Structure 1
Amino acid sequence: MTALVDQAAPADDETALSRKIRSQSRSGRDRLVTAAGVVVLLVIWELAARQVDPILAAPPSAVLKALISMIGDGTMLTAVWESAQPFLTGYVLAIVVGVPLGLLIGRFRVVEAAIGWLVIAGYAMPMIALTPVFMLWFGLGFAVKAAMVMTMTVFAIAINTWNGVQHVPRTLIEVGTVFCASQSRILSQIVIPSVIPSIMTGLRIGIGKAVVGIVIAEFFTAIGGVGGVIVDAGHSFQPDRMFAAVVVLMAAAVALTGLIGLIERRLAPWNRSIAGGSR
Protein backbone atom coordinates (compact mmCIF):
# COMPACT_ATOMS: atom_id res chain seq x y z
CA MET A 1 0.00 0.00 0.00
CA THR A 2 2.87 2.36 0.89
CA ALA A 3 4.53 1.61 -2.43
CA LEU A 4 1.38 2.62 -4.30
CA VAL A 5 1.23 5.92 -2.41
CA ASP A 6 4.93 6.58 -3.16
CA GLN A 7 4.30 5.95 -6.85
CA ALA A 8 1.23 8.19 -6.92
CA ALA A 9 2.97 11.16 -5.26
CA PRO A 10 5.54 11.78 -8.04
CA ALA A 11 2.78 11.44 -10.62
CA ASP A 12 0.74 14.13 -8.81
CA ASP A 13 3.81 16.38 -8.60
CA GLU A 14 4.47 15.90 -12.31
CA THR A 15 0.84 16.74 -13.14
CA ALA A 16 0.95 19.90 -11.04
CA LEU A 17 4.25 20.92 -12.66
CA SER A 18 2.87 20.37 -16.16
CA ARG A 19 -0.21 22.43 -15.30
CA LYS A 20 2.00 25.26 -14.02
CA ILE A 21 4.12 25.18 -17.18
CA ARG A 22 1.02 25.25 -19.41
CA SER A 23 -0.41 28.13 -17.38
CA GLN A 24 2.79 30.15 -17.72
CA SER A 25 2.90 29.42 -21.44
CA ARG A 26 -0.68 30.61 -21.90
CA SER A 27 0.04 33.72 -19.83
CA GLY A 28 3.05 34.60 -22.01
CA ARG A 29 1.05 33.97 -25.17
CA ASP A 30 -1.81 36.16 -23.93
CA ARG A 31 0.54 39.04 -23.11
CA LEU A 32 2.10 38.76 -26.56
CA VAL A 33 -1.30 38.84 -28.25
CA THR A 34 -2.34 41.85 -26.13
CA ALA A 35 0.84 43.73 -27.03
CA ALA A 36 0.34 42.93 -30.72
CA GLY A 37 -3.24 44.19 -30.56
CA VAL A 38 -2.14 47.45 -28.95
CA VAL A 39 0.55 47.98 -31.60
CA VAL A 40 -1.88 47.33 -34.47
CA LEU A 41 -4.42 49.73 -32.96
CA LEU A 42 -1.81 52.47 -32.53
CA VAL A 43 -0.57 52.06 -36.13
CA ILE A 44 -4.11 52.29 -37.52
CA TRP A 45 -4.83 55.30 -35.31
CA GLU A 46 -1.60 57.04 -36.39
CA LEU A 47 -2.27 56.51 -40.10
CA ALA A 48 -5.93 57.49 -39.90
CA ALA A 49 -5.36 60.62 -37.77
CA ARG A 50 -2.79 61.96 -40.24
CA GLN A 51 -5.41 61.93 -42.99
CA VAL A 52 -7.82 64.33 -41.25
CA ASP A 53 -7.74 67.93 -40.07
CA PRO A 54 -5.49 68.30 -36.96
CA ILE A 55 -8.33 70.17 -35.23
CA LEU A 56 -10.52 67.07 -35.44
CA ALA A 57 -8.08 64.35 -34.36
CA ALA A 58 -4.55 63.81 -33.12
CA PRO A 59 -2.23 60.86 -33.86
CA PRO A 60 -0.80 58.81 -30.96
CA SER A 61 2.60 60.49 -31.36
CA ALA A 62 1.04 63.92 -30.72
CA VAL A 63 -1.06 62.55 -27.88
CA LEU A 64 2.05 61.11 -26.22
CA LYS A 65 3.85 64.45 -26.50
CA ALA A 66 0.86 66.25 -25.00
CA LEU A 67 0.63 63.70 -22.18
CA ILE A 68 4.32 64.08 -21.33
CA SER A 69 3.95 67.87 -21.38
CA MET A 70 0.87 67.74 -19.13
CA ILE A 71 2.62 65.44 -16.68
CA GLY A 72 5.68 67.69 -16.71
CA ASP A 73 3.77 70.86 -15.89
CA GLY A 74 1.59 69.09 -13.32
CA THR A 75 -1.72 69.57 -15.13
CA MET A 76 -2.46 65.86 -15.54
CA LEU A 77 -1.27 64.80 -12.10
CA THR A 78 -3.41 67.46 -10.46
CA ALA A 79 -6.44 66.47 -12.54
CA VAL A 80 -5.99 62.78 -11.76
CA TRP A 81 -5.74 63.50 -8.04
CA GLU A 82 -8.86 65.68 -8.12
CA SER A 83 -10.80 62.93 -9.89
CA ALA A 84 -9.38 60.03 -7.87
CA GLN A 85 -10.64 61.25 -4.50
CA PRO A 86 -14.39 61.41 -5.29
CA PHE A 87 -14.02 58.37 -7.56
CA LEU A 88 -12.64 56.14 -4.81
CA THR A 89 -15.05 57.55 -2.23
CA GLY A 90 -18.10 56.90 -4.41
CA TYR A 91 -16.86 53.48 -5.49
CA VAL A 92 -16.22 52.31 -1.92
CA LEU A 93 -19.64 53.59 -0.84
CA ALA A 94 -21.20 51.67 -3.73
CA ILE A 95 -19.51 48.46 -2.55
CA VAL A 96 -20.56 49.04 1.07
CA VAL A 97 -24.19 49.53 0.02
CA GLY A 98 -24.45 47.34 -3.07
CA VAL A 99 -23.01 44.05 -1.78
CA PRO A 100 -25.20 43.77 1.36
CA LEU A 101 -28.21 44.96 -0.64
CA GLY A 102 -27.67 42.25 -3.25
CA LEU A 103 -27.19 39.59 -0.58
CA LEU A 104 -30.43 40.54 1.16
CA ILE A 105 -32.47 40.70 -2.05
CA GLY A 106 -31.14 37.36 -3.27
CA ARG A 107 -31.47 35.56 0.05
CA PHE A 108 -34.85 36.77 1.29
CA ARG A 109 -37.85 36.66 -1.01
CA VAL A 110 -39.74 39.34 0.92
CA VAL A 111 -36.86 41.80 0.44
CA GLU A 112 -36.75 40.94 -3.27
CA ALA A 113 -40.47 41.61 -3.58
CA ALA A 114 -40.15 44.88 -1.67
CA ILE A 115 -37.17 46.57 -3.34
CA GLY A 116 -35.93 44.28 -6.13
CA TRP A 117 -37.91 46.24 -8.70
CA LEU A 118 -36.37 49.47 -7.44
CA VAL A 119 -32.83 48.18 -7.97
CA ILE A 120 -33.66 47.11 -11.52
CA ALA A 121 -35.30 50.46 -12.24
CA GLY A 122 -32.27 52.29 -10.83
CA TYR A 123 -29.92 50.30 -13.03
CA ALA A 124 -32.00 51.08 -16.13
CA MET A 125 -32.36 54.78 -15.29
CA PRO A 126 -30.16 57.09 -17.43
CA MET A 127 -28.26 58.70 -14.58
CA ILE A 128 -27.23 61.69 -16.69
CA ALA A 129 -30.85 62.86 -16.35
CA LEU A 130 -30.37 63.12 -12.58
CA THR A 131 -27.20 65.20 -12.78
CA PRO A 132 -28.97 68.60 -12.50
CA VAL A 133 -30.87 67.31 -9.46
CA PHE A 134 -27.65 66.05 -7.86
CA MET A 135 -26.05 69.45 -8.49
CA LEU A 136 -28.92 71.12 -6.61
CA TRP A 137 -28.60 68.66 -3.72
CA PHE A 138 -24.83 68.35 -3.41
CA GLY A 139 -23.43 71.49 -5.04
CA LEU A 140 -20.62 71.59 -7.60
CA GLY A 141 -17.68 70.11 -5.68
CA PHE A 142 -16.50 66.86 -4.19
CA ALA A 143 -19.90 65.66 -2.93
CA VAL A 144 -21.70 65.71 -6.28
CA LYS A 145 -18.89 63.76 -7.96
CA ALA A 146 -18.86 61.07 -5.25
CA ALA A 147 -22.67 60.87 -5.33
CA MET A 148 -22.69 60.40 -9.11
CA VAL A 149 -20.05 57.68 -8.94
CA MET A 150 -21.87 55.90 -6.13
CA THR A 151 -25.24 56.07 -7.87
CA MET A 152 -23.86 54.93 -11.22
CA THR A 153 -22.10 51.96 -9.62
CA VAL A 154 -24.23 50.64 -6.77
CA PHE A 155 -26.98 49.07 -8.87
CA ALA A 156 -24.59 47.04 -11.03
CA ILE A 157 -22.90 45.65 -7.92
CA ALA A 158 -26.23 44.87 -6.24
CA ILE A 159 -27.69 43.11 -9.29
CA ASN A 160 -24.64 40.92 -9.84
CA THR A 161 -24.54 39.98 -6.16
CA TRP A 162 -28.27 39.27 -6.25
CA ASN A 163 -27.85 37.04 -9.29
CA GLY A 164 -24.98 35.19 -7.62
CA VAL A 165 -27.03 34.44 -4.52
CA GLN A 166 -29.83 33.00 -6.63
CA HIS A 167 -27.37 30.61 -8.28
CA VAL A 168 -25.94 29.20 -5.05
CA PRO A 169 -26.59 25.41 -5.17
CA ARG A 170 -29.72 24.64 -3.18
CA THR A 171 -28.12 21.49 -1.79
CA LEU A 172 -25.51 23.55 0.08
CA ILE A 173 -28.18 25.62 1.79
CA GLU A 174 -30.23 22.48 2.59
CA VAL A 175 -27.18 20.89 4.23
CA GLY A 176 -26.77 23.98 6.42
CA THR A 177 -30.46 23.88 7.32
CA VAL A 178 -30.27 20.16 8.19
CA PHE A 179 -27.44 20.89 10.61
CA CYS A 180 -29.58 23.61 12.22
CA ALA A 181 -27.38 26.50 11.10
CA SER A 182 -28.86 29.96 11.63
CA GLN A 183 -29.70 32.19 8.69
CA SER A 184 -26.78 34.47 9.53
CA ARG A 185 -24.39 31.50 9.58
CA ILE A 186 -25.73 30.15 6.29
CA LEU A 187 -25.26 33.61 4.78
CA SER A 188 -21.73 34.10 6.07
CA GLN A 189 -20.33 30.57 5.63
CA ILE A 190 -22.21 29.22 2.60
CA VAL A 191 -23.76 32.00 0.55
CA ILE A 192 -21.03 34.67 0.64
CA PRO A 193 -18.11 32.33 -0.30
CA SER A 194 -20.19 30.99 -3.20
CA VAL A 195 -21.10 34.51 -4.37
CA ILE A 196 -17.56 35.98 -4.41
CA PRO A 197 -17.11 35.48 -8.20
CA SER A 198 -20.42 37.25 -8.88
CA ILE A 199 -19.51 40.08 -6.52
CA MET A 200 -16.19 40.52 -8.32
CA THR A 201 -17.98 40.59 -11.67
CA GLY A 202 -20.16 43.38 -10.31
CA LEU A 203 -17.07 45.26 -9.12
CA ARG A 204 -15.47 44.99 -12.56
CA ILE A 205 -18.62 46.25 -14.26
CA GLY A 206 -18.82 48.95 -11.61
CA ILE A 207 -15.39 50.30 -12.60
CA GLY A 208 -16.71 51.27 -16.02
CA LYS A 209 -19.85 52.74 -14.50
CA ALA A 210 -17.81 54.71 -11.97
CA VAL A 211 -15.56 56.18 -14.67
CA VAL A 212 -18.65 57.30 -16.60
CA GLY A 213 -20.09 58.80 -13.42
CA ILE A 214 -17.02 60.87 -12.55
CA VAL A 215 -16.64 62.14 -16.12
CA ILE A 216 -20.31 63.12 -16.36
CA ALA A 217 -20.11 64.98 -13.07
CA GLU A 218 -16.97 66.83 -14.18
CA PHE A 219 -18.45 67.63 -17.57
CA PHE A 220 -21.41 69.36 -15.92
CA THR A 221 -19.52 71.05 -13.10
CA ALA A 222 -16.40 71.80 -15.23
CA ILE A 223 -14.43 72.23 -12.02
CA GLY A 224 -11.10 70.42 -12.25
CA GLY A 225 -10.48 66.72 -12.69
CA VAL A 226 -9.77 64.72 -15.82
CA GLY A 227 -13.26 65.48 -17.13
CA GLY A 228 -12.52 69.20 -16.76
CA VAL A 229 -9.32 68.74 -18.78
CA ILE A 230 -11.31 67.07 -21.57
CA VAL A 231 -13.87 69.88 -21.59
CA ASP A 232 -11.21 72.61 -21.64
CA ALA A 233 -9.24 70.87 -24.40
CA GLY A 234 -12.37 70.44 -26.48
CA HIS A 235 -13.35 74.08 -26.12
CA SER A 236 -9.86 75.22 -27.14
CA PHE A 237 -9.62 72.77 -30.08
CA GLN A 238 -6.69 70.81 -28.68
CA PRO A 239 -7.45 67.19 -29.58
CA ASP A 240 -4.01 66.00 -28.47
CA ARG A 241 -4.65 67.12 -24.88
CA MET A 242 -8.22 65.82 -25.02
CA PHE A 243 -7.17 62.35 -26.19
CA ALA A 244 -4.35 62.33 -23.61
CA ALA A 245 -6.94 62.71 -20.85
CA VAL A 246 -9.13 60.01 -22.41
CA VAL A 247 -6.15 57.63 -22.59
CA VAL A 248 -5.44 58.26 -18.90
CA LEU A 249 -9.04 57.36 -18.04
CA MET A 250 -8.86 54.19 -20.14
CA ALA A 251 -5.55 53.15 -18.59
CA ALA A 252 -6.88 53.74 -15.07
CA ALA A 253 -10.00 51.68 -15.79
CA VAL A 254 -7.95 48.79 -17.20
CA ALA A 255 -5.55 48.89 -14.24
CA LEU A 256 -8.34 48.91 -11.67
CA THR A 257 -10.15 46.07 -13.45
CA GLY A 258 -6.95 44.05 -13.42
CA LEU A 259 -6.50 44.77 -9.71
CA ILE A 260 -9.98 43.44 -8.99
CA GLY A 261 -9.12 40.32 -10.98
CA LEU A 262 -6.05 39.79 -8.79
CA ILE A 263 -8.16 40.22 -5.65
CA GLU A 264 -10.66 37.69 -6.98
CA ARG A 265 -7.90 35.14 -7.56
CA ARG A 266 -6.81 35.66 -3.96
CA LEU A 267 -10.29 35.37 -2.49
CA ALA A 268 -11.65 32.64 -4.78
CA PRO A 269 -8.69 30.72 -6.26
CA TRP A 270 -10.93 27.76 -7.03
CA ASN A 271 -13.14 29.71 -9.45
CA ARG A 272 -10.64 29.85 -12.32
CA SER A 273 -10.04 26.07 -12.18
CA ILE A 274 -13.74 25.11 -12.23
CA ALA A 275 -15.09 27.82 -14.55
CA GLY A 276 -15.46 27.30 -18.25
CA GLY A 277 -13.78 29.40 -20.89
CA SER A 278 -11.25 29.34 -23.67
CA ARG A 279 -7.83 27.80 -23.08
Structure 2
Amino acid sequence: MAHEHERGRQKATAISVEPANTGRADFYSRHRARIRGTLTFLWVMLLWEAMARYGVRDERLLAPFSKVITALVNLFLSGEIWQHLSVSGYEFALGFLLASLAGVTVGFLMGTVRIVRDYLDPWISGLYSAPLVALAPFFIMFFGVGVASKAALVFSVVVFPVVVNTFAGVYSVDPGMIEVARSFNASRLQILFKVLIPSSLSYIVTGLRLGVGRGLTGVVVAEFFFANAGLGFLVALAGQTFNTPLLFAGILVFAVAGVALIGGLKRLEKKLAPWRTLEEE
Protein backbone atom coordinates (compact mmCIF):
# COMPACT_ATOMS: atom_id res chain seq x y z
CA MET A 1 0.00 0.00 0.00
CA ALA A 2 2.83 2.35 0.92
CA HIS A 3 4.63 1.41 -2.29
CA GLU A 4 1.61 2.31 -4.41
CA HIS A 5 1.26 5.63 -2.55
CA GLU A 6 4.92 6.44 -3.28
CA ARG A 7 4.51 5.68 -6.98
CA GLY A 8 1.43 7.92 -7.14
CA ARG A 9 3.33 10.78 -5.53
CA GLN A 10 6.24 10.43 -7.99
CA LYS A 11 3.83 10.38 -10.92
CA ALA A 12 2.09 13.54 -9.67
CA THR A 13 5.46 15.27 -9.26
CA ALA A 14 6.48 14.33 -12.80
CA ILE A 15 3.21 15.67 -14.19
CA SER A 16 3.60 18.98 -12.32
CA VAL A 17 7.22 19.45 -13.48
CA GLU A 18 6.50 18.65 -17.12
CA PRO A 19 4.09 21.55 -17.74
CA ALA A 20 6.56 23.96 -16.15
CA ASN A 21 9.34 22.79 -18.46
CA THR A 22 7.00 22.89 -21.43
CA GLY A 23 5.92 26.41 -20.51
CA ARG A 24 9.52 27.62 -20.39
CA ALA A 25 10.26 25.96 -23.73
CA ASP A 26 7.20 27.57 -25.30
CA PHE A 27 8.16 30.98 -23.93
CA TYR A 28 11.68 30.65 -25.36
CA SER A 29 10.30 29.47 -28.70
CA ARG A 30 7.95 32.45 -28.95
CA HIS A 31 10.52 35.05 -27.91
CA ARG A 32 13.68 33.39 -29.22
CA ALA A 33 14.60 36.22 -31.62
CA ARG A 34 14.11 38.90 -28.94
CA ILE A 35 16.13 36.96 -26.36
CA ARG A 36 19.00 36.42 -28.76
CA GLY A 37 18.92 40.05 -29.88
CA THR A 38 18.98 41.26 -26.27
CA LEU A 39 21.91 38.99 -25.42
CA THR A 40 23.83 40.21 -28.46
CA PHE A 41 23.19 43.82 -27.45
CA LEU A 42 24.46 43.16 -23.90
CA TRP A 43 27.60 41.43 -25.17
CA VAL A 44 28.39 44.28 -27.56
CA MET A 45 27.85 46.89 -24.85
CA LEU A 46 30.12 45.04 -22.43
CA LEU A 47 32.79 44.74 -25.11
CA TRP A 48 32.39 48.43 -25.92
CA GLU A 49 32.80 49.40 -22.26
CA ALA A 50 35.89 47.21 -21.85
CA MET A 51 37.55 48.49 -25.04
CA ALA A 52 36.92 52.13 -24.11
CA ARG A 53 38.25 51.75 -20.55
CA TYR A 54 41.12 49.33 -21.02
CA GLY A 55 41.94 49.43 -24.73
CA VAL A 56 41.57 52.79 -26.47
CA ARG A 57 41.61 54.94 -23.30
CA ASP A 58 40.93 58.11 -25.27
CA GLU A 59 37.39 59.42 -24.84
CA ARG A 60 37.69 61.55 -27.97
CA LEU A 61 37.94 58.37 -30.02
CA LEU A 62 35.70 55.98 -28.09
CA ALA A 63 33.66 56.98 -25.05
CA PRO A 64 32.65 54.27 -22.56
CA PHE A 65 29.10 53.09 -23.06
CA SER A 66 28.24 54.09 -19.50
CA LYS A 67 29.10 57.72 -20.31
CA VAL A 68 27.02 57.53 -23.48
CA ILE A 69 24.04 56.40 -21.41
CA THR A 70 24.72 59.20 -18.92
CA ALA A 71 24.72 61.77 -21.73
CA LEU A 72 21.49 60.32 -23.09
CA VAL A 73 19.81 60.41 -19.67
CA ASN A 74 20.90 64.04 -19.22
CA LEU A 75 19.32 64.92 -22.58
CA PHE A 76 16.01 63.47 -21.44
CA LEU A 77 16.20 64.99 -17.96
CA SER A 78 16.93 68.46 -19.33
CA GLY A 79 14.16 68.11 -21.92
CA GLU A 80 16.53 69.13 -24.73
CA ILE A 81 16.02 65.86 -26.58
CA TRP A 82 12.31 66.43 -27.21
CA GLN A 83 12.81 69.38 -29.52
CA HIS A 84 15.40 67.48 -31.56
CA LEU A 85 13.18 64.38 -31.70
CA SER A 86 10.12 66.34 -32.82
CA VAL A 87 12.01 68.17 -35.58
CA SER A 88 13.76 65.08 -36.98
CA GLY A 89 10.66 62.92 -36.51
CA TYR A 90 8.46 65.32 -38.47
CA GLU A 91 11.00 65.60 -41.31
CA PHE A 92 11.38 61.83 -41.51
CA ALA A 93 7.65 61.07 -41.25
CA LEU A 94 6.71 63.55 -43.98
CA GLY A 95 9.33 62.33 -46.43
CA PHE A 96 8.85 58.65 -45.63
CA LEU A 97 5.06 58.65 -45.94
CA LEU A 98 5.10 60.51 -49.26
CA ALA A 99 7.85 58.24 -50.58
CA SER A 100 5.96 55.12 -49.48
CA LEU A 101 2.76 56.18 -51.25
CA ALA A 102 4.58 57.22 -54.40
CA GLY A 103 6.89 54.20 -54.40
CA VAL A 104 4.11 51.63 -54.01
CA THR A 105 2.00 53.34 -56.69
CA VAL A 106 4.83 53.53 -59.23
CA GLY A 107 5.94 49.98 -58.41
CA PHE A 108 2.45 48.61 -59.12
CA LEU A 109 2.20 50.60 -62.35
CA MET A 110 5.57 49.26 -63.51
CA GLY A 111 4.54 45.72 -62.62
CA THR A 112 1.16 45.85 -64.37
CA VAL A 113 1.57 48.31 -67.29
CA ARG A 114 4.31 47.41 -69.72
CA ILE A 115 4.70 50.84 -71.32
CA VAL A 116 5.28 52.39 -67.87
CA ARG A 117 7.88 49.72 -67.08
CA ASP A 118 9.69 50.28 -70.39
CA TYR A 119 9.95 54.03 -69.87
CA LEU A 120 10.76 54.11 -66.15
CA ASP A 121 12.91 51.02 -65.57
CA PRO A 122 16.25 52.57 -66.75
CA TRP A 123 15.65 55.69 -64.65
CA ILE A 124 14.63 53.77 -61.55
CA SER A 125 17.66 51.46 -61.85
CA GLY A 126 20.05 54.38 -62.26
CA LEU A 127 18.64 56.57 -59.51
CA TYR A 128 18.35 53.63 -57.10
CA SER A 129 22.12 53.13 -57.22
CA ALA A 130 23.01 56.85 -57.27
CA PRO A 131 24.30 58.59 -54.09
CA LEU A 132 21.28 60.85 -53.74
CA VAL A 133 22.35 62.20 -50.35
CA ALA A 134 24.86 64.29 -52.30
CA LEU A 135 21.88 66.33 -53.54
CA ALA A 136 21.32 67.82 -50.08
CA PRO A 137 22.77 71.27 -51.03
CA PHE A 138 20.56 71.31 -54.15
CA PHE A 139 17.41 70.60 -52.11
CA ILE A 140 18.34 73.34 -49.65
CA MET A 141 18.81 75.86 -52.47
CA PHE A 142 15.57 74.78 -54.17
CA PHE A 143 13.26 74.36 -51.15
CA GLY A 144 14.98 76.63 -48.64
CA VAL A 145 16.35 75.78 -45.19
CA GLY A 146 13.05 74.67 -43.68
CA VAL A 147 11.40 71.30 -43.29
CA ALA A 148 10.66 70.94 -47.02
CA SER A 149 14.31 70.48 -48.03
CA LYS A 150 14.92 67.78 -45.40
CA ALA A 151 11.69 65.96 -46.27
CA ALA A 152 12.59 66.15 -49.97
CA LEU A 153 15.94 64.49 -49.32
CA VAL A 154 14.27 61.76 -47.25
CA PHE A 155 11.75 61.26 -50.07
CA SER A 156 14.48 60.92 -52.69
CA VAL A 157 16.43 58.24 -50.81
CA VAL A 158 13.37 56.24 -49.69
CA VAL A 159 11.19 56.15 -52.80
CA PHE A 160 13.48 54.08 -55.05
CA PRO A 161 13.95 51.00 -52.84
CA VAL A 162 10.17 50.99 -52.33
CA VAL A 163 9.59 51.17 -56.09
CA VAL A 164 12.11 48.43 -56.86
CA ASN A 165 10.78 46.02 -54.23
CA THR A 166 7.13 46.67 -55.05
CA PHE A 167 7.81 46.09 -58.74
CA ALA A 168 9.68 42.87 -57.93
CA GLY A 169 6.76 41.67 -55.81
CA VAL A 170 4.15 42.38 -58.48
CA TYR A 171 6.31 40.93 -61.25
CA SER A 172 6.88 37.70 -59.28
CA VAL A 173 3.15 36.95 -58.84
CA ASP A 174 2.25 33.58 -60.33
CA PRO A 175 0.45 34.26 -63.65
CA GLY A 176 -1.68 31.20 -62.99
CA MET A 177 -3.28 32.94 -60.00
CA ILE A 178 -4.23 35.90 -62.18
CA GLU A 179 -5.68 33.59 -64.83
CA VAL A 180 -7.75 31.79 -62.20
CA ALA A 181 -9.10 35.13 -60.95
CA ARG A 182 -9.97 36.17 -64.50
CA SER A 183 -11.72 32.84 -65.11
CA PHE A 184 -14.06 33.79 -62.25
CA ASN A 185 -14.74 37.15 -63.96
CA ALA A 186 -12.75 39.14 -61.41
CA SER A 187 -12.37 42.81 -62.25
CA ARG A 188 -9.03 44.60 -62.37
CA LEU A 189 -9.61 46.09 -58.95
CA GLN A 190 -10.48 42.66 -57.53
CA ILE A 191 -7.32 41.18 -59.04
CA LEU A 192 -5.34 44.07 -57.57
CA PHE A 193 -6.71 43.75 -54.04
CA LYS A 194 -7.27 39.98 -53.93
CA VAL A 195 -4.21 38.71 -55.81
CA LEU A 196 -1.48 41.27 -56.52
CA ILE A 197 -1.34 43.13 -53.20
CA PRO A 198 -1.47 40.04 -50.92
CA SER A 199 1.11 38.20 -53.05
CA SER A 200 3.56 41.13 -53.13
CA LEU A 201 3.03 42.35 -49.56
CA SER A 202 6.25 40.87 -48.19
CA TYR A 203 8.23 42.58 -50.98
CA ILE A 204 6.58 45.92 -50.21
CA VAL A 205 7.37 45.63 -46.49
CA THR A 206 10.98 44.73 -47.36
CA GLY A 207 11.22 47.90 -49.44
CA LEU A 208 9.78 49.96 -46.59
CA ARG A 209 12.25 48.40 -44.16
CA LEU A 210 15.12 49.33 -46.47
CA GLY A 211 13.66 52.80 -46.76
CA VAL A 212 13.68 53.29 -42.98
CA GLY A 213 17.47 53.07 -42.79
CA ARG A 214 18.00 55.23 -45.85
CA GLY A 215 15.46 57.78 -44.62
CA LEU A 216 17.07 58.15 -41.20
CA THR A 217 20.43 58.63 -42.92
CA GLY A 218 18.84 61.27 -45.14
CA VAL A 219 17.60 63.18 -42.08
CA VAL A 220 21.09 63.21 -40.57
CA VAL A 221 22.78 64.35 -43.77
CA ALA A 222 20.20 67.09 -44.39
CA GLU A 223 20.57 68.44 -40.86
CA PHE A 224 24.35 68.39 -41.18
CA PHE A 225 24.19 71.06 -43.88
CA PHE A 226 21.81 73.59 -42.35
CA ALA A 227 19.73 73.23 -39.21
CA ASN A 228 19.40 74.69 -35.75
CA ALA A 229 17.56 71.72 -34.27
CA GLY A 230 17.21 67.99 -34.87
CA LEU A 231 19.15 64.87 -34.01
CA GLY A 232 21.44 65.35 -37.01
CA PHE A 233 22.22 68.87 -35.79
CA LEU A 234 22.89 67.48 -32.31
CA VAL A 235 25.29 64.85 -33.67
CA ALA A 236 27.08 67.40 -35.87
CA LEU A 237 27.45 69.84 -32.95
CA ALA A 238 28.80 67.09 -30.69
CA GLY A 239 31.32 66.09 -33.35
CA GLN A 240 32.54 69.67 -33.81
CA THR A 241 33.09 70.06 -30.06
CA PHE A 242 34.61 66.55 -29.64
CA ASN A 243 31.83 65.61 -27.24
CA THR A 244 32.01 61.90 -28.05
CA PRO A 245 29.49 60.69 -25.42
CA LEU A 246 26.86 63.11 -26.78
CA LEU A 247 27.70 62.12 -30.36
CA PHE A 248 27.19 58.43 -29.64
CA ALA A 249 24.04 59.23 -27.66
CA GLY A 250 22.52 60.87 -30.73
CA ILE A 251 23.52 57.93 -32.94
CA LEU A 252 22.03 55.54 -30.37
CA VAL A 253 18.69 57.36 -30.56
CA PHE A 254 18.70 56.94 -34.35
CA ALA A 255 19.52 53.24 -33.96
CA VAL A 256 16.71 52.66 -31.47
CA ALA A 257 14.28 54.54 -33.73
CA GLY A 258 15.30 52.34 -36.65
CA VAL A 259 14.80 49.15 -34.66
CA ALA A 260 11.38 50.33 -33.45
CA LEU A 261 10.20 51.32 -36.93
CA ILE A 262 11.37 48.09 -38.54
CA GLY A 263 9.77 46.10 -35.73
CA GLY A 264 6.53 47.97 -36.34
CA LEU A 265 6.65 47.10 -40.05
CA LYS A 266 7.20 43.44 -39.19
CA ARG A 267 4.14 43.48 -36.95
CA LEU A 268 2.15 45.22 -39.68
CA GLU A 269 3.11 42.53 -42.18
CA LYS A 270 2.16 39.82 -39.71
CA LYS A 271 -1.23 41.43 -39.14
CA LEU A 272 -2.00 42.05 -42.81
CA ALA A 273 -0.62 38.71 -44.00
CA PRO A 274 -1.00 36.23 -41.13
CA TRP A 275 -0.43 33.30 -43.48
CA ARG A 276 3.19 34.30 -43.96
CA THR A 277 5.74 33.12 -41.42
CA LEU A 278 8.42 35.69 -40.80
CA GLU A 279 11.93 34.40 -41.09
CA GLU A 280 12.92 35.20 -37.52
CA GLU A 281 9.96 33.30 -36.11
Q: Taking structure 1 as reference, are residues 102 and 23 closer, same or farther at Cα in structure 2, changes over 3 Å only? A: farther
- Residues 110, 167 of structure 2: 8 Å contact kept: yes
Aligned match of 1:207 in 209, 212, 219?
212
Instruction: Say yes or no: does 1:183 pair with 2:188.
Output: yes
Cα deviation for residue 223 of structure 1 reads 2.6
Structure 2 CA distance, aligned partners of 1:160 and 1:209?
14
Residue aligned with 1:269, SS:
coil
The CA distance in 1 between the partners of 2:226 and 2:192, in whole Å, is 42
Query: Unpaired segments of 5 or more residues in structure 1?
Result: 1-19
- 2:38: which partner in 1? 35
Once the two structures are TM-superposed, the CA of residue 122 in structure 1 deviates from its matched residue by 1.6
What are the Cα deviations for residues 148-173 of structure 1, in whole angstroms up to 9, with x where unaligned? 11111011111100000011111111
1:226 matched to 2:231? The reply is yes
Match of 2:269 among 264, 271, 274: 264
The DSSP-based 3-state class of the residue aligned with 1:271 is coil
TM-score (norm 1): 0.87
Distance in 1 (alpha carbons) for counterparts of 2:35 and 2:276 = 25
* Aligned mate of 1:236, from 233, 241, 246: 241
Shift of 1:207: 0.6
Q: Give the conservation status (yes or no) of the 8 Å contact 1:160–1:198.
A: yes
**Which of 146, 150, 169 is the matching residue for 1:141?**
146
SS in structure 2 opposite 1:222? coil
* CA deviation map 1:103-138 (0-9, x unaligned): 110112111001122111121110122111111111
Please say which structure displays the higher CA radius of gyration. 2
Q: Structure 2: where are the runs of 5+ without partners?
A: 1-22
SS of the equivalent of 1:223 reads coil
What's the CA shift string for 1:216-265, capped at 9, x where partnerless? 10111133100000010011110000000000000000001000111110
SS at match of 1:116: helix
- How far residue 176 of structure 1 moved from its aligned partner, in angstroms, is 2.0
**Distance in 2 separating the partners of 1:23 and 1:199:** 31
Cα shift readout 1:35-54 (whole Å, capped 9, x = no counterpart): 21111100110011123211
Say which SS state the counterpart of residue 275 (structure 2) adopts: helix
Displacement of 1:96 in angstroms is 1.1
Partner residue, 2:4: none
Note the C-alpha offset of 1:278. Answer: 6.9
CA shift, 1:24, in A, is 4.1
Aligned residues with identical type, % of pairs: 36
Aligned amino acid, residue 45 of structure 2? L
For the residues of structure 1 that align with 2:85 and 2:206, how far apart are their CA atoms?
25
* Deviation (angstroms), 1:29: 3.0
Residue 49 (str. 1) matches residue 30 (str. 2): no
Distance of 1:238 and 1:87 partners within structure 2: 25
Whether the 8 Å CA contact 1:94–1:154 is kept in 2: the answer is yes
Matched, 1:26 2:29: yes
Distance 2:120 2:163 in 1: 11
Q: Residues 91 and 171 (structure 1 numbering): CA distance in 2 closer, same or farther, change over 3 Å?
A: same
Paired AA for residue 244 in structure 1 = A
Alignment check: 8 A CA contact 1:87 1:214 kept: yes
Whether the 8 Å CA contact 1:230–1:245 is kept in 2: the answer is yes
Find 2:134's aligned residue among 129, 136, 141.
129
Question: Partner of 1:71 in structure 2?
Answer: 76
CA distance in 2, matches of 1:94, 1:140: 20
